[in-house]
Amino acid sequence: MSSVEHDRSVLGAYALGALDPAEERAVHAHVSTCQECQRELAEFVDLRAALDQVPPEAFLDGPPDGGDLLLRNTLRRVRAEETPAPRRRGGLIAVAAAVVAAVALGGGIVIGRATAPEPATALPAGTISAEATDQTTGASMRVQVEPRAGWVWVNAFVDGVPAGEKCELVVVPREGDPLVAGSWVVSDKGAAEGLPLEGTALIPPGQVKEVRVDTLDGRTMVRVPL
Amino acid sequence: MASVAITGRRARRARQVPGEELVRSLYSEHGRSLLAYAIRLTNDRAAAEDVVQETLLRAWKHADDLRDNVGSVRGWLLTVARNIITDRARARAVRPTEVNQEIEAPAAQRDHADDVVNAMTVLGAMDRLSPDHRAVLVELYYRGRTVNETAAVLGIAPGTVKSRSYHAVRALRATLGQPGEVPR
Ligand SMILES: [Zn+2]
């Protein structure tokens, strides 16, 4: 076969290593004598390094073989993250008032009021009040549990929990599973000045054994027996 | 009874999850590519499927990032998948025998801190080629076919394969070699 004449259009395939061996030898023979081809080829060789960053799987299209179980599992995770399932049944109410101090997490708790007064003097009959300080964590809580028709309203004032802690207000019945009455992350202001909270729990009045502040990673900051 | 507590949850369940369509379409368009890539890197189908789930979940969470990304969506997804795999390998590096051989081999071949950007950039540049030129490049380079095989697969003359590959390579070179990006 005669040697290849100057034909730059073959340099692409040559640089990609796609010519058959005989043609590749011929092009090689020409390139070794042609500076113009050498210059262009040098750029193409650089390009190969860039092409090598892309894995060959990048050029497969469509869904995976074998049904859509993988898709369904993925969508389940999407929905789970979209709707964080409460671990326990618990009630939350957002307070319609000027709010400060706490950043509401997914569940929507309650949030301290800018004008939160000291506990009202006229509390509903059957309201139970208690407070406690945890000597280890230094956190303290003052809590009032007000009776409602089959459930309770919980007012709490939590102090001494460091900023950044993600907390939940846990209401523990004498029988059955604890309920989460709200969750929040402690702000700087909440850490410095304490944080008023309100929540609800579907526990019959008189059946509340204790109210706790737990962190989401499972540490109890303070426990108030009732 | 306790309507305050239940209402919110019921309402949220009934609502269509936003972004579910995004995940479905990413899966049907890129699922095969992602899974094949993850299987090669992990050598473990179950682990690879989990990587694909996690990748799509991140795409859903970072939909803005995905949309604004200058490279290709495919490149973004593959890059995220690889990062997940290497992060997990690193996290388990206390058990080197199990992980390092599989993972480190491909990583070592392309040991550039910026190849993440490059994979996305290169794919983005390839997306801007004409479909004809792109197809030739994919067959010749990524599928390892010869000029004649590619000609047969695409139903064109071998001479056309050569000229298209030349123009494809030049166009890519021009796109990727913007001034300042690839100093010579
Ligand atoms: Zn020449």
Task: Specify the DSSP element, H or E, that contains A184.
Answer: strand A179-186
**DSSP 8-state assignment for residue A68:** S
Q: Are residues B65 and B139 in the same domain?
A: no
Domain span holding position B165: 129-184
CB pairs A-B closer than 8 Å = 185
Q: Domain for residue B157, yes or no? A: yes
Q: Span B28-57, mean pLDDT? A: 96
Query: Of A188 and B23, which is predicted with more confidence?
Result: B23
Q: Are residues B32 and B114 in the same domain?
A: yes
* Shared-domain flag, residues B22 and B113: yes
B179 Cα to chain A: minimum distance (Å): 14
What is the rounded CA–CA span in Å between residue B159 and residue A48? 22
Using the beta-carbon criterion (under 8 Å), do B184 and A51 form an inter-chain contact?
no
Residue B162: per-residue pLDDT: 96
- Per-residue pLDDT at B181 exceeds 50: no
Q: Which residues contact A1 (CB under 8 A, 6 or more apart)?
A: A22, A26
Q: Tell which CATH architecture fits domain A69-225.
A: Sandwich (2.60)
B26-63: burial string, b at 16+ Cβ within 10 Å, e else:
bbebbbbbbbbbbbebbeeeeebbbbbbbbbbbbbeee
Write the CB contacts of B6 (distance below 8 Å, at least 6 apart in sequence): none
Task: Please provide the average confidence, as pLDDT, over all residues in chain A.
Answer: 78
Pick the CATH number of A2-58 from 3.30.70, 1.10.10, 1.20.272, 1.10.4100: 1.10.10
Q: Do B151 and B118 belong together in one domain? A: no
Residues of B in contact with A74 (CB under 8 A): 23, 27, 52-53, 56-57
| Chain B: residue whose CA lies nearest to A85 | B9
Q: Which of B34, B52, B173 sits opposite A47 (nearest CB)?
A: B173
pLDDT tier, A4 (very low <50, low <70, confident <90, very high otherwise):
low
Domain end (from B110, B127, B144): B127
Nearest to A70 among B49, B166, B176 (CB): B49
pLDDT for B62-119, tens place per residue?
887 777 665 688 999 999 999 999 988 888 765 544 444 444 333 333 333 444 446 8
Predicted pLDDT at B99? 43
User: Which range among A47-56, A83-92, A120-129, A165-174 shows the weakest confidence by mean pLDDT?
Assistant: A83-92
Nearest to A13 among B31, B52, B162 (CB): B162
Q: What's the rounded Cα separation, in Å, for the pair A170 and B18? A: 31
pLDDT tens-place string over residues A127-137: 888 888 888 88
CATH code for the domain in which residue B171 is found = 1.10.10.10
Q: What is the pLDDT of residue B110?
A: 38
In a mutational test of the B interface, the residue from A24, A45, A46, A78 whose CB has the highest number of chain B CBs within 10 Å is A78
Q: Do B27 and A63 touch (CB under 8 A)?
A: yes
Q: Outline where DSSP puts E strands in chain B.
A: none
Please give the average per-residue pLDDT across A84-111, as a whole number.
38
> What value, to the nearest 5°, has the Cα angle with vertex A101 and ends A97 and A103?
90
With CA atoms as reference, report the closest residue to A63 among B74, B78, B75, B30.
B30
pLDDT of the residue at B35: 97
- With contacts defined as CB-CB under 8 Å, which chain B residues touch A10? 162, 166
Structure confidence by residue, pLDDT tens digits, A22-77: 999 999 999 999 999 999 999 888 888 889 989 999 999 999 988 789 999 999 99
Mean pLDDT of A12-28: 94
Number of domains in chain B: 2
A155-164: b (≥16 Cβ within 10 Å) or e:
bbbbbbbeee
CB count in 10 Å sphere of residue B1: 9
Q: What are phi and psi of A104, to 5 degrees?
A: -70, 135
Whether A2-58 shares its CATH topology with A69-225 is answered: no
**pLDDT exceeds cutoff 90 at A21:** yes
**Averaged pLDDT for residues B26-35:** 95
Nearest chain A residue (CA) to B138: A59
Which of the residue ranges A11-20, A183-192, B68-77 has the most confident prediction, judged by mean pLDDT?
A11-20
Same structural domain, B115 and B169: no
Residue of A nearest to B75 (CA): A58
Q: In terms of domains, do B116 and B154 share one?
A: no
Same domain, B133 and B62: no
Read off the pLDDT band of B137 (50, 70, 90).
very high
Q: Which residue has the higher pLDDT, A218 or B143?
A: B143
DSSP letters spanning A19-59: S-HHHHHHHHHHHTT-HHHHHHHHHHHHHHHHHTTS-GGGG
Q: What is the model's pLDDT at position A99? A: 33
What is the ipTM for the molecules in this complex? Answer: 0.76
DSSP helix/strand/coil, A140: strand
Q: Of residues B19 and A35, which shows the higher confidence score? A: A35
Task: Count CB-CB contacts under 10 A for residue A1.
Answer: 7
Q: How far is A136 from chain B (nearest CA, A)?
A: 33
Q: How far is B171 from chain A (nearest CA, A)?
A: 11
User: What does the pLDDT read at residue B183?
Assistant: 36
A206 touching chain B per CB within 8 A: no
CA distance A16 to A30: 17
pLDDT at position A84: 52
The model's pTM is 0.55
Nearest CA in chain B to A72: B24
| A95-112 average pLDDT score | 35
We report the CATH number of the domain holding residue B110 as: 1.10.1740
Q: What angle do CA A118, A96, A141 make, to 5 degrees?
A: 35
Least CB–CB distance from B162: residue in A10, A81, A202: A10
Min mean pLDDT across A170-174, B96-100, B152-156 is at B96-100
Examine residue B7 and state whether it is found in any structural domain, yes or no.
no
Please give, rounded to a whole number of angstroms, the shortest distance from the CA of B91 to a CA of chain A: 21
- Report the mean per-residue pLDDT for chain B: 78
Write down the domain spans for chain A: 2-58, 69-225
